[in-house]
């Protein structure tokens, strides 16, 4: 089992359409000292062997579950959104402006329902920038299509790497976006650049009146390449972030705070910068998607080729499935008490096996003391 450091007191042609035992244990907890009582859940943990929900994906990046039961997945290189409904896969749309180069292309997806129906939001790399767009998701399972595309945010610097790309709606109804430094670290500390930041915006892309920097979409700064966003049950935002050569990070996100890049990578203990709550050496993490389920965070690791399970009380992390399924890009809540994992072995950096890439499902059970 690999244990990460807890830091206390931290102020790869056109892709085809898809065909239809843990390696670590949880960190031991102290025995209860009160009188015997029914044990209370202390988070959840994976149980058993993951099964395939969907196979034959090509460079998938983000997965979204709809209330209809349909699954939407972005294919980075092809620039396609596909749906999987009632055992059938099909293309919903090709985002014509999406341009794949390096780590760029069609990245994060998110949905929002309002009085007019359902919006699908997408973060993608165009010929000139990284941008966020939205379009109405029309039709129903097996026949979804996109309406006219609207720009939400344009002009984010792009590069062959460090594009960020995760988008998610918070419990406050605002849209959050992770934006990488696009290969120029100094952008992360510049308030004149939206790169190297976590952004917060209204659904139409305008600046919320209560953002920490008046008139700016910047929510936090000093990030290198964050790719995971998740809120816990209290509404607290957390993020996972790629380091450079030494430390990858799991950060508690506080509005207006500076997370140090490029001055600091990992725990620096420098005044004015917020240290990560957890850090990992880059060979066991390279974290991307992040999700909170019933008291536990699940963090997908690309280079580390494993799942990190992060319990929150007390904060601790254990590794699961190390090397078993290759690169993991996204982690989302599945149906009926399950976790979904999206592999990413066909993006040019992995070692694809038969059936890759795939959407995996694993059962979760409560973790109890005693």
Q: How confident is the model over 267-291, as pLDDT tens digits? A: 999 999 999 999 999 999 999 999 9
Helix or strand (DSSP H, E) at 151:
strand 150-156
**250 in any annotated domain:** yes
What pLDDT shows up at residue 38?
A: 46
DSSP 19: B
What pLDDT shows up at residue 41?
A: 53
- The C-alpha atoms of residue 140 and residue 37 are separated, in whole angstroms, by 48
Give percent of the chain with pLDDT exceeding 90: 86
**41 in any annotated domain:** no
pTM for the structure as a whole: 0.89
pLDDT over threshold 50, residue 124:
yes
What pLDDT shows up at residue 13?
A: 36
Q: Number of structural domains, the chain?
A: 1
Averaged pLDDT score across all residues of the chain: 90
**28 in any annotated domain:** no
pLDDT category at 370 given cuts 50, 70, 90 is very low
pLDDT digits (tens, 9 = 90+) for 205-233: 999 999 999 999 999 999 999 999 999 99
**129 in any annotated domain:** yes
**279 in any annotated domain:** yes
For the chain, give percent helix, strand, coil, nearest 5: 0, 45, 50
Q: What is the mean pLDDT of residues 46-68?
A: 97
Q: What is the mean pLDDT of residues 192-206?
A: 98
What pLDDT shows up at residue 314?
A: 87
**351 in any annotated domain:** no
Q: The tokens of 169 are what?
A: 């709606």
pLDDT digits (tens, 9 = 90+) for 125-173: 999 999 999 999 999 999 999 999 999 999 999 999 999 999 999 999 9
Q: Is 159 left (phi over 0), alpha (psi -120 to 50) or beta?
A: beta
Q: What is the mean pLDDT of residues 356-366?
A: 97
**272 in any annotated domain:** yes
What pLDDT shows up at residue 210?
A: 98
**123 in any annotated domain:** yes
Q: Give the residue numbers spanning the domain of 303.
A: 65-309
Q: What is the mean pLDDT of residues 79-90?
A: 96
Q: What is the mean pLDDT of residues 230-252?
A: 97
Three-state SS at 6: strand
**CATH code of 84's domain:** 2.120.10.30
- The C-alpha atoms of residue 253 and residue 349 are separated, in whole angstroms, by 30
Number of neighbouring beta carbons within 10 Å of residue 69: 11
pLDDT over threshold 60, residue 244:
yes
């Amino acid at each position: 089992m690999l244990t990460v450091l807890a830091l206390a007191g931290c102020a790869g042609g056109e892709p085809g359409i898809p065909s239809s035992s843990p390696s670590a244990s949880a960190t031991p907890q102290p025995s209860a000292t009160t009188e015997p009582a029914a044990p209370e859940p202390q988070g959840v943990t994976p149980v058993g062997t993951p099964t395939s929900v969907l196979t034959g994906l090509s460079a998938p990046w983000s997965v979204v579950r709809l209330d209809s039961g349909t699954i939407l997945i972005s294919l980075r290189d092809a620039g396609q959104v596909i749906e999987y409904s009632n055992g059938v896969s099909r293309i919903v749309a090709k985002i014509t402006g999406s341009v794949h180069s390096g780590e760029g292309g069609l990245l994060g997806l998110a949905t929002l329902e309002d009085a007019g129906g359902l919006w699908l939001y997408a973060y993608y790399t165009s010929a000139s920038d990284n941008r966020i767009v939205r379009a109405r998701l029309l039709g129903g399972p097996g026949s979804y299509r996109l309406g006219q595309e609207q720009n939400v945010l344009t002009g984010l610097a792009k590069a062959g790497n460090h594009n960020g790309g995760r988008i998610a709606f918070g419990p406050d109804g605002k849209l959050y976006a992770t934006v990488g430094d696009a290969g120029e670290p100094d952008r992360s500390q510049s308030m004149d650049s939206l790169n190297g930041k976590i952004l917060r915006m209204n659904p139409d892309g305008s600046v919320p009146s209560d953002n920490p920097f008046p008139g700016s979409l910047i929510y936090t700064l000093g990030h290198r390449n964050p790719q995971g966003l998740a809120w816990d049950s209290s509404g607290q935002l957390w993020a996972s972030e790629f380091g450079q050569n030494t430390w990858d990070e799991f950060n508690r996100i506080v509005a207006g705070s500076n997370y140090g890049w490029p001055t600091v990578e990992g725990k620096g203990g420098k005044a004015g910068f917020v240290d990560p709550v957890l850090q990992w050496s880059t060979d066991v993490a390279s974290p991307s998607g992040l999700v909170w389920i019933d008291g536990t965070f699940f963090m997908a690791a690309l280079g580390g080729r494993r799942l990190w399970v992060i319990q929150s009380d007390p904060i601790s992390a254990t590794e699961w499935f190390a090397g078993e399924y290759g690169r993991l890009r996204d982690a989302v809540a599945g149906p009926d008490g399950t976790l979904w994992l999206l592999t990413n072995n066909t993006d040019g950096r992995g070692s694809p096996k038969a059936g890759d890439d795939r959407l995996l499902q694993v059962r979760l059970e409560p973790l109890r003391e005693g």
